[in-house]
């Protein structure tokens, strides 16, 4: 059975920090948060903060005909996917890209299309909707649009597992390369959750902050929603080396579990087992890990459970780990967060810089790790992990190594 090494050769990011990886990484290195007052024209909501994509004009990226079939989450996915492909040195129409896979996760799918449809039917009392409503808003729309825009004709499909959607999509691409099914995969996730219905629903959960996102802090007050897309090009080692690709890092292994318990409350055992499984799959000793990009939502339950799980798995070595939550800067972009966070973790290995946990004040008494407060840290990162834990008790952990 094949078990080929998998490399990251291209990165793309759209986030509250901007429309490309360079803006994203510059903000993370500076500890600069993209969280700002919520200023979208949506009435009758209590949410006051968000990390929305700044100065985004769809007309600068797509024609009017294209926009008739592109929900906002698909737009963000295509932009980030194009950047990742360009970054990897691949070209639309070439055989390499034609035979690649496109596996795109999303926690929400085409909610802007759904919202516009319901507004038309129930608020405006219209009797007909746009004829392309279904293909524009379906959960697989972003995967289809990425495939169409980039000329990808290999396996293309969507994956949905709430806030772990990006990680699960990336793991699926990695597994397909491991097995020899494909040589190249474009993987990641996209979400655009700023619609009236979704915001009212999140408000009802009472987990949103009207202060800021400060994971692991004693005075943390909840998560802040974001939007965006993170994309990665994955290749087998042989394929990447044969074409002389620049390799950011090796995607070394993964761990996945489900809690089979509470629908929203994280489970320490489920998280711990996912971390253990990732270490085992990647054949990594726990004392080799330098950095963990935490799920770090800044909710009361998550931060304590994640800290306890890390302590449980790593024991005394946990105090030697750098742990940070980049959600403090790009917000919680739902399914896209895990993909954006893997982009950040990849860049931490590539550049030897650990992004901080921004907005940090004083650690919670139950959060006793090194959370890299407020300022990035220059440090060689040979092995790193990225944690993602979703509603429904769906846990995914990805391990990366510096390539050698």
Tell me the catalytic residues.
163, 295, 332
- Alpha carbon separation from 97 to 152, 247, 375 (Å, rounded): 6, 17, 38
Angle at the Cα of 255 (from 301 to 375), degrees rounded to 5? Answer: 55
Contact indicator for 337, 388 with CB cutoff of 8 Å: yes
Dist. CA 388–CA 255, nearest whole Å: 10
């Amino acid at each position: 059975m094949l078990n080929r090494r998998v490399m990251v050769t291209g990165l793309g990011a759209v986030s509250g920090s901007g429309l490309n990886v360079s803006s994203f990484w510059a903000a993370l290195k500076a500890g600069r948060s993209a969280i700002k007052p919520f200023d979208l024209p949506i009435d009758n909501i209590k949410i006051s903060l968000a990390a929305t994509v700044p100065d985004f004009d769809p007309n600068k990226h797509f024609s009017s005909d294209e926009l008739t079939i592109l929900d906002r989450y698909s737009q963000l996915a295509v932009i980030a996917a194009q950047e990742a492909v360009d970054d990897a040195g691949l070209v639309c129409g070439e055989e390499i890209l034609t035979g690649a896979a496109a596996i795109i996760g999303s926690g929400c799918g085409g909610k802007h299309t759904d919202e516009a449809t319901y507004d038309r039917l129930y608020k405006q009392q219209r009797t007909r909707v746009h004829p392309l409503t279904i293909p524009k808003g379906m959960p697989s729309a972003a995967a289809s649009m990425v495939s169409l825009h980039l000329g990808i004709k290999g396996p293309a499909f969507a994956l949905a597992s709430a806030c772990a959607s990006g990680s699960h999509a990336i793991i699926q691409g990695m597994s397909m390369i491991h097995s020899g099914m494909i040589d190249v995969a474009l993987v990641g996730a996209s979400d655009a959750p700023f619609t009236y219905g979704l915001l009212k629903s999140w408000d009802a959960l009472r987990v949103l902050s009207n202060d800021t996102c400060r994971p692991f802090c004693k005075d943390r007050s909840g998560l802040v929603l974001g939007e965006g897309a993170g994309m990665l090009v994955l290749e087998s080692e042989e394929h990447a080396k044969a074409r002389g690709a620049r390799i950011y890092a090796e995607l070394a292994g993964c761990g996945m579990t489900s809690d089979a318990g509470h629908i929203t409350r994280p489970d320490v055992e489920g998280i711990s087992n996912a971390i253990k499984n990732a270490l085992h799959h990647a054949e990594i000793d726990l004392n080799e890990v330098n950095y963990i990009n935490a799920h770090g939502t800044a909710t009361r339950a998550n931060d304590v459970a994640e800290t306890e799980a890390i302590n449980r798995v790593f024991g005394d070595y946990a105090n030697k780990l750098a742990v940070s939550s980049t959600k403090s800067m790009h917000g919680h972009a739902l399914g896209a967060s895990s993909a954006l966070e893997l982009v950040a973790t990849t860049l931490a290995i590539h550049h030897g810089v650990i992004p901080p946990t921004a907005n940090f004040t004083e650690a919670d008494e139950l959060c006793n790790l090194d959370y890299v407060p407020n300022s990035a840290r220059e440090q060689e990162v040979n092995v790193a992990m990225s944690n993602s834990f979703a509603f429904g008790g769906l846990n995914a952990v990805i391990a990366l190594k510096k390539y050698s």
